[in-house]
Copies of this chain bind each other. A is one copy, B any other.
Amino acid sequence: MEVVNTITVMQEKCENLRLSGKRIAFVPTMGFFHEGHLELMRVGREISDIVVVSIFVNPTQFGPHEDFESYPRDMESDLAKAEGRNVDLVFAPSVNEMYPNGYQTKIMVEKVTKHLCGLSRPGHFDGVTTVVAKLFNIAKPHIAIFGEKDHQQLTVIRRMVKDLDMDIRIVGVPTFREPDGLAMSSRNSYLNADERASALSLNKSLDLSEDLCHQGEREVLKIRGAIEAFILRHPHTAVDYITICDPHTLEDLEILKKEALVALAVKVGKTRLIDNRVIKPA
């Protein structure tokens, strides 16, 4: 496994890999790997010749009062884990390598960013799309792999790739969970024992929404209310949003007719967690 820190070296290596006929799968990450990340690498290994992983905590996707500074980092452990998954190439640039003096460009996806996390984290998705486009231009992948835990991120990236005619196949991988159902997240490391227990309410509330749907409930307001009440019964929780929407446009639904995305963001103590599920009336 090779680790590269500069854009020009990375581009040259990836271009040569392409020219030699290899298919590149790319897993962009912010590091601090958990099993969810490793699963993305495993999928990449399965469907391509070369697996490239980037590790970059991207400042432009954090708001001014968010956790950019304190976001967990552990490069040494990450590299060992990536090597354990037979990753070929890791790109780990500095912030200055990615955003040198004079930097002034951004990519905006205008509609699907205006829902869910886009409302509570203004500018977040501009940061995501811009850095992902940069990383695509650096790693030159045929395939890029993202977790479905951030369903909106995946939707936004699919939209950007389609709109800007990027010749890259986007693969979504189902959320990897702890045995008790908590969605894997680097931010889970922020939780104390009490909060960890309450954090289970996210996934359980998604179970509840699915049960209600299968029992015939079609009114979004009622399902949403049940989810909220359920979560708030758990200590240290505060709801950021609970949304039931079209999985593609992310526009709010009022009545369940076909596939719907239930997406939520909940603060547990000071830690903001997200989870989601696609439910479907029988």
- What 1/0 flags go to A137-148 for Cβ under 8 Å of B? 110100000000
A156 (CB) vs chain B CBs: closest residue: B105
Chain B residues contacting A137 (CB-CB under 8 Å) are 164-167
Task: Give the oligomeric copy count.
Answer: 2
Minimal Cβ-Cβ distance residue in B for A142: B15
Minimum Cβ distance to chain B for residue A264 (Å): 24
Are the C-beta atoms of B134 and A165 separated by less than 8 Å?
Answer: yes
Residues of B within 8 A of A133 (CB): 164
Instruction: Name the residue of chain B whose CB is nearest to the CB of A97.
Output: B165
Contact with B along A101-133 (1 / 0, CB 8 A): 001111111111000000000000000011001
Instruction: Please report the C-alpha to C-alpha distance between residue A134 and residue B107 in the assembled complex, in whole angstroms.
Output: 12
The reply to whether the CB of A163 lies closer than 8 angstroms to some CB of chain B is: yes
B19, B111, B164, B166: the one contacting A21 at CB < 8 Å is B19
Asked whether, in the complex, the Cβ of A164 is within 8 Å of the Cβ of B134, the reply is yes
Binding site for B on A (CB under 8 A): 7, 11, 15, 18-19, 21, 103-112, 129-130, 133-134, 137-138, 140, 159-160, 163-167
Q: Could you list 19 A-B pairs, sorted by A, with CB under 8 Å? A: A7-B165, A15-B167, A18-B18, A19-B21, A103-B163, A104-B159, A104-B163, A105-B108, A105-B129, A105-B163, A106-B108, A106-B110, A107-B108, A107-B164, A108-B108, A130-B164, A133-B164, A137-B165, A138-B165
